[in-house]
Structure 1
Amino acid sequence: MKMDAAIVEIDGSLMEGGGQILRVSAALSCVTGSPIKVTKIRAGRSTPGLRPQHLSGLQLVSDLCSGSLQGASIGSTDISLTPGKIQSGNHTADTQTAGSVCLLLQAALPCALYSDTSTQFCLKGGTNAEMAPQIDYTLKVFKPIVERFGVHFDCDLRMRGYYPKGGGEVMVAVNPVKELQPVTMTERGNITKIHGKAFVAGVLPFKLAKDMSTAAVRTIRKEIKELYINIQPLQEKEKACGNGNGIIIIAESSTGCLFAGSALGKKGVYADKVGIEAAEMLLRNIRHNGCVDEFLQDQLIIFMALAKGTSRIRTGAVTLHTQTAIHVSEMLTQAKFTITKCEEGLSSNVTHIIECQGSGATNPNL
């Protein structure tokens, strides 16, 4: 930590006002060595303050940077983190709920990049949870795109965990970088491939997977006639804790852009409705002609902010999550973001270019 570093105060109720402010600010505090104080955490939520998943994410980041963490308890609305030196080695985080392992990874991954050697995480909780990326999304969409920044990690899915029990487990190994490369994704090209999987786990009947898949294909077909669409129904027997069903559909473009639509089954919701929801989400995310979907958009901001050089990414509508991540990134790094709206001729498509002059964070441990 910089001895003279002033504490950066962050209002946790700003903009999107959720756990994301916490994840981005904790990760950037760890990387930059700036101590932070986050107040009014999740102030507008029905259960304000830290939930188990936020708490285990913060503890994980604090462990990673041998930090000192104050106010870290369930329901706490104010925390402060004073980071130390980033530690490689093995780290474990367990939400002990269906709290998302993918959100734990979101907070921890940027930190591990600035370590001296490879870092291993064992993350426990929900792998396929509501209001969070599914592990399939993290592996099939997020991972290949962040690799363009120079981020390399391996992820071994040991056990899937579903709401309400959790019990999922993933092992992640992250390699450090000297610095991150900027990324340009401004040309979408054509959609060339659509594939996915519809799964059931536990005691749920295989027919649900087939129903989700069929309904999803039918929905996409209405809009995209010419492509072969392959959504495999799967029964997950071994590697699943608890009962769950869900679907993830991925579209690939000729320039290597990736988009996804996903949905999870809930009690009392027909399987075809789950399939249709995922298909409509995918279609919505490829209609706008941007290069990333609404979920990848905000997850890339922290890497753009840390990279050395200028990144440019074309998106559809800029989400509140993205605006929040930009706000926090500008507070904690020297990165400068601009968003430019592009109206495309006759079509009704509005896209935005998010441009970032990255702060060029270099790894002092390499």
Structure 2
Amino acid sequence: MVRELDGSILEGGGQLLRNATALAALTNRSIRVSKIRAGRRPPGLKPQHVAGSKLVAQICLARLDGADKGSDELTFSPQNIRLGNYSADPGTAGSTTLLFQVSLPTLLFSTSPIPTISTLKLRGGTNAVQAPQIDYTENVFLPFLRQHFGILVELDIRKRGYWPKGGGEIRLSITSRQDPLPSFQLLERGEVTKIRGRSFAAGLPAALARTMAETARNHLIEAGIDESKIEITALREKEGTAVGSGSGIVLWAETENGCILGGSALGQKGKTPEAVGSEAADELVRNLSHGGCVDEYLQDQIIIFMALADGVSQILVGPLTLHTKTAIWVAEQLTEARFQVEEVDMNRVLLSCTGTGFRRIINHQAQAQGSPTWN
């Protein structure tokens, strides 16, 4: 039986499709997602969504219908997941981090007690708009997964790619596990002990990176952050390490209780480096001000892992974002996980999840050999 999902629900973007295909692959459930990105202009699949869907289809030998640019409906019918070595390239500056997001959950679980290492070679944009920058993934997302879920991923940034050329490349090694992910409780953020950052310019003057870093630093100090806790590196990317030109800054705050919260911004034509640095600092300050244990972007990215974990996970977060509400909706549609939301005060929410304790089970009715197909 094919499970029907309305792709225009809530946030109605690519995140809904990514989470749905990842969970469908894990649970061996066929899905049909309609009205994909219906509220976007243009609607339907972009090349990065097509590449992500085909990547997961390769991993689980899925039949894939509708995986074409502009398509507003996709049917995904998985078989058995095969751990191994995979690659994806949308041929654009589409985000490598979003390709990683859709494929990571599918490569985490093994039927063997001996860990298997799978690899991903992903090409595209490493620092793209409307997606986590690779520096955020490296310094916020992956450390959180390691500390609270025991997920082991090694990241190697081979080459950075910027809009509109793309051409960046990252490689990841993912260690599988037989046991379910553990649940966790993270209820107190604690004091900020350090704020780190990376301000960069590629194919542009190094002065841009220095200005972004200095502006961000000044804004953080004005917001009450002890300047001795701030450490922002400004650099110009070396020749040959990046494709195209771009600039930006990623900041992250570390707390005494092991929380990591981020803030970032990208340079654009007509946008001053002072504006970029201010934007990143303001975003970080905003995420620190609500007192939650994760920032607004990590909040939705951890939902799928909470749903797969064994037992009850609890985390104190800021106001729920639409992305988070969408991720919860998808998880509850495709798994037995159940979430509860309790308002602590005007700025904070206690988010609880009774996870499924997911373990991978071989689908003996599926073909052990073969290739994914798509029409």
What is the identity, as a one-letter code, of the residue corresponding to 1:264? L
Partner amino acid for 2:191?
A: N
- What is the aligned counterpart of 2:64 among 69, 72, 81? 69
Separation in structure 1 between the aligned mates of residue 30 and residue 188 of structure 2, nearest angstrom: 38
Secondary structure of 1:274's partner?
Answer: helix
1:154 corresponds to: 154
1:15-30 matched pairs, under 5 angstroms: 15-30=10-25
Q: Identify the residue that residue 355 of structure 1 maps to in structure 2.
A: 352
Counterpart check, 1:246 vs 2:245: no
1:98 aligns with 2:88: no
CA distance in 2, matches of 1:227, 1:35: 53
Q: In the alignment, residue 146 of structure 1 is paired with which amino acid?
A: L
Which 5+ residue runs of structure 1 have no aligned equivalent? Answer: 1-5, 344-348
Amino acid at match of 1:144: P
Match of 1:188 in 2: 189
d(CA) in 1 for partners of 2:246, 2:225: 31
Specify the SS of the correspondent of 1:234: strand
Aligned to 2:293: 291
- Mapped partners of 1:55, 1:305: distance in 2: 25
Distance across 1 between alignment mates of 2:216 and 2:205: 18
Does 2:236 correspond to 1:235?
Answer: yes
Cα distance per residue 1:241-277 (max 9 Å; x no partner)? 1101000111011101001110010011110110000
Distance 2:78 2:184 in 1: 28
Alignment of 1:121-200 (within 5 A): 121-147=120-146, 148-178=148-178, 179-200=180-201
Deviation at 1:72, TM superposition (A): 0.7
Structure number with greater CO (CA < 8 Å, separation at least 6) is: 2
Following superposition, the deviation at residue 227 of structure 1 comes to: 4.0
Which residue of 337, 340, 344 maps to 1:338? 340
1:346: which partner in 2?
none
1:22-61 alignment runs, 5 A limit: 22-61=17-56
CA–CA separation in structure 2 for the residues paired with 1:279 and 1:226:
14
Aligned to 1:9: 4
Gaps of 5+ in 2: 363-375
Distance 1:149 1:260 in 2: 19
Deviation at residue 197 of structure 1 after TM alignment: 1.3
TM-superposed deviation, 1:350:
2.0
TM-score, structure 2 length as denominator? 0.93
In 2, the alpha carbon distance for the partners of 1:207 and 1:20 equals 36
Structure 1 contact 86–114 (Cα < 8 Å) conserved: no
Distance in 2 separating the partners of 1:118 and 1:69:
26
C-alpha separation in 1, matches of 2:193 and 2:224: 11
Q: Deviations over 1:316-365 (max 9, x none)?
A: 0100000000000000000000010002xxxxx52001100001111236
Count residues in correspondence. Answer: 354
Q: CA deviation at 1:115?
A: 4.0
C-alpha distance in 2 between matches for 1:354 and 1:360:
18
Q: How does 1:267-306 map to 2 (within 5 A)?
A: 267-306=269-308
Percent identity between the two aligned chains = 47
Query: For residue 130 of structure 1, what is the amino acid of its counterpart?
Result: V
State the 1:56 CA deviation: 0.3
Q: Which position in structure 1 is the counterpart of 2:226?
A: 226
Computed over aligned residues only, the root mean square deviation of the Cα atoms, in angstroms, reads: 1.0
Give the AA of the match of 1:57. G
User: Contact 1:21 / 1:328 at 8 angstroms: preserved in 2?
Assistant: yes
Task: Determine the C-alpha separation between the residues in 2 that align with 1:153 and 1:31.
Answer: 19
What amino acid maps onto 1:334 in structure 2?
A: E
Aligned-partner Cα distance in 1 for 2:21–2:359: 18
